[in-house]
């Protein structure tokens, strides 16, 4: 589908959680983004391979409320399925940073490279050093989520991490402290506890552990803070805040906080809302765990679609050309039929004209079959050079002319004979005797000229 003309496409977040599937849409509203739709459907089991009829029905209900031509799709996986860490690399462009990570990714993930997918984003950039956030996830976990969406027509362009999106939205709302101390956000859901240590809005350390008993969570929180202090020595500890978007865990989180601040439910926004707004606000290349094979698959599908549309277009052009050709052929045949009918009507007049022409030709031949002696003498006089003189002329009607003459030199006589030979009045010129008088060079000659019929001379057949 193509986006509606005149509209800027918004973002639609489709996120699975322990209670069901949630959808949030957002569109630009000035310099900010406005949430257009926030809805959810009850939990439907999905394994990424076989999509149930109930799941299809649920997603179809959601899709009827979201015009996919107006929105780009983003989804997210849980923090428990992602290993996040911060790294320091030399400052360079994004493509070279990726090449550096490609070379050392084996040492940065416990998973086999072929079974994992990773992405990164820049946190802090100086003239010589770039600190990045690297996220590595199990490809199977990501594929399960993406496949479930693809199976019903949702095609996510971005796969993010829910805990990171919630953290950024809480910062955007001004709910979290933004001083330069080591502050900590603890995000709890039914399966995972996410620890995010940050300073001045920049993430220092991020960890996700399976949600267990309170003592285990407190111990892991202490280890995370210790790791952050090693990363940023000399920075004093700040506030620790607890939050959950699951109302059923509200009491448990309060007990775990043990006097620390617990964010109100309205502040700990739902993941789908945070994921949607985070994708919409991302100005630079954002963290995206969508496996490359999905991009390639869509690219091939797009090529097939373009080829199919091109073939349909060519087919339409061919059919149009065929219709035009057949129409033109029909018109031509109709015109040819009218011409044939007209020719048949004119044929008797044509035959009459042919007979009349034949009669006229016969009469012309009879009238002009012979040349007169005067006509022949006129033609000979026209062709005779100044240095040639005619001494004798013998005319035999409709047969030949015998000539006797003399010239100042043999060349003049030959020139005269050549002119006669080219005349339309004679079929053949036959030279006779030539006699050159000694001392004077005068050449005397005689010749015979065979006459053409007058009809042939004037083109009468």
CATH fold for domain 373-457: Gyrase A; domain 2 (3.30.1360)
Q: Is the pLDDT of residue 160 over 80?
A: yes
pLDDT over threshold 70, residue 444:
yes
Taking residues 75-99, report their average pLDDT: 89
Looking at domain 78-144+155-299, its CATH class is alpha beta
Pairing between β-strand 202-210 and β-strand 192-199 as defined by DSSP bridges? antiparallel
Q: Is the pLDDT of residue 186 over 90?
A: yes
- Model pLDDT for residues 335-347, shown as the tens digit of each residue: 998 998 988 888 8
**With 70 as the cut, is the pLDDT of residue 248 above it?**
yes
Could you read off the pLDDT of 409-443 as tens digits, one per residue? 888 888 888 888 888 888 888 998 888 888 888 88
Separation of alpha carbons 186 and 170, rounded Å? 12
The token pair that represents 359 in the structure block: 């009669």
Whether residue 263 has pLDDT greater than 90 = no
Is a pLDDT exceeding 60 seen at residue 455? Answer: no
Cβ(125)–Cβ(93) below 8 Å: no
Same fold, 78-144+155-299 and 373-457: no
Mean pLDDT of the chain: 84
pLDDT tens by residue, 40-52: 777 665 554 455 6
Predicted confidence at residue 46, as pLDDT, reads 57
pLDDT of residue 177: 92
CA distances from 342 to 138, 329, 338, 346 (A): 85, 20, 6, 6
Average pLDDT over residues 73-94: 89
pLDDT tops 50 at residue 1 = no
pLDDT of residue 352: 87
Q: What pLDDT is stored for residue 181 in this prediction?
A: 92
pLDDT band at 371 (very low <50, low <70, confident <90, very high): low
Amino acid 164: pLDDT: 92
pLDDT category of residue 353 using cuts at 50, 70 and 90: confident
At residue 373, the pLDDT reads 80
Q: Which is higher by pLDDT, 246 or 13?
A: 13
Give the domain ranges of the chain.
Answer: 78-144+155-299, 300-367, 373-457
Within 10 angstroms of residue 209's Cβ, the number of other Cβ atoms is 18
Measured between alpha carbons, how far is 126 from 374 in angstroms, rounded to an integer? 120
pLDDT digits (tens, 9 = 90+) for 275-312: 999 888 876 557 899 998 888 888 888 888 888 888 89
Give the pLDDT confidence score for residue 199 in this predicted structure.
92
Q: Which residue has the higher pLDDT, 8 or 143?
A: 143
Read off the pLDDT band of 166 (50, 70, 90).
very high
């Amino acid at each position: 589908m193509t986006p509606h003309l005149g509209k800027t496409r918004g973002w639609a977040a489709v996120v699975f959680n322990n209670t069901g599937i949630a959808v949030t849409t957002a569109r630009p509203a000035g310099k900010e983004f406005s949430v257009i739709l926030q809805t959810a459907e009850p939990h439907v089991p999905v394994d990424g391979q076989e999509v149930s009829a109930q799941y299809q029905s649920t997603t179809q209900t959601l899709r009827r409320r979201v015009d996919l031509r107006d929105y780009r799709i983003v989804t997210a996986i849980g923090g428990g399925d992602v290993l996040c860490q911060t790294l320091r690399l030399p400052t360079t462009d994004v493509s070279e940073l990726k090449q550096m990570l490609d070379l050392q990714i084996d040492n940065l993930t416990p998973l086999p490279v072929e079974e994992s997918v990773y992405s990164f984003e820049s946190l802090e950039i100086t003239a010589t050093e770039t600190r990045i956030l690297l996220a590595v996830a199990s490809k199977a976990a990501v594929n399960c989520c993406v496949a479930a969406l693809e199976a019903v027509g949702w095609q996510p362009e971005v796969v993010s991490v829910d805990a990171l999106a919630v953290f950024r939205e809480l910062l955007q709302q001004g709910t979290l402290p933004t001083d330069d101390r080591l502050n900590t956000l603890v995000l709890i859901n039914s399966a995972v506890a996410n620890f995010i240590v940050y300073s001045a809005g920049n993430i220092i350390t991020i960890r996700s552990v399976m949600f267990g008993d309170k003592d285990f969570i407190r111990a892991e929180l202490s280890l995370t803070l210790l790791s952050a202090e090693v990363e940023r020595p000399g920075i004093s500890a700040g506030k620790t805040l607890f939050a959950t978007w699951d109302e059923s865990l509200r009491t448990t989180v309060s007990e775990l906080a043990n006097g620390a601040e617990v964010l109100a439910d309205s502040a700990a926004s739902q993941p789908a809302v945070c994921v949607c707004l985070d994708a919409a606000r991302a100005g630079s290349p954002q963290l995206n765990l969508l496996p490359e094979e999905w991009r390639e698959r869509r690219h091939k599908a797009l090529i097939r679609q373009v080829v199919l549309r091109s073939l349909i277009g060519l087919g339409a052009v061919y059919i149009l050309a065929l219709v035009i050709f057949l129409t033109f052929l029909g018109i031509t045949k109709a015109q040819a039929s009218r011409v044939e009918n007209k020719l048949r009507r004119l044929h008797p007049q044509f035959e009459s004209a042919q007979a009349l022409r034949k009669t006229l030709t016969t009469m012309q031949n009879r009238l002009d079959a012979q040349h007169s002696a005067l006509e022949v003498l006129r033609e000979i006089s026209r062709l005779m050079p100044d240095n040639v003189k005619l001494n004798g002329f013998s005319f035999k009607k409709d047969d030949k002319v015998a000539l006797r003459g003399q010239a100042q030199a043999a060349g003049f006589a030959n020139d005269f004979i050549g002119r006669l030979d080219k005349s339309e009045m004679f079929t053949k010129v036959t030279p006779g005797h030539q006699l050159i008088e000694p001392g004077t060079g005068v050449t005397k000659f005689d010749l015979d000229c065979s006459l053409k019929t007058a009809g042939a001379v004037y083109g009468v057949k």
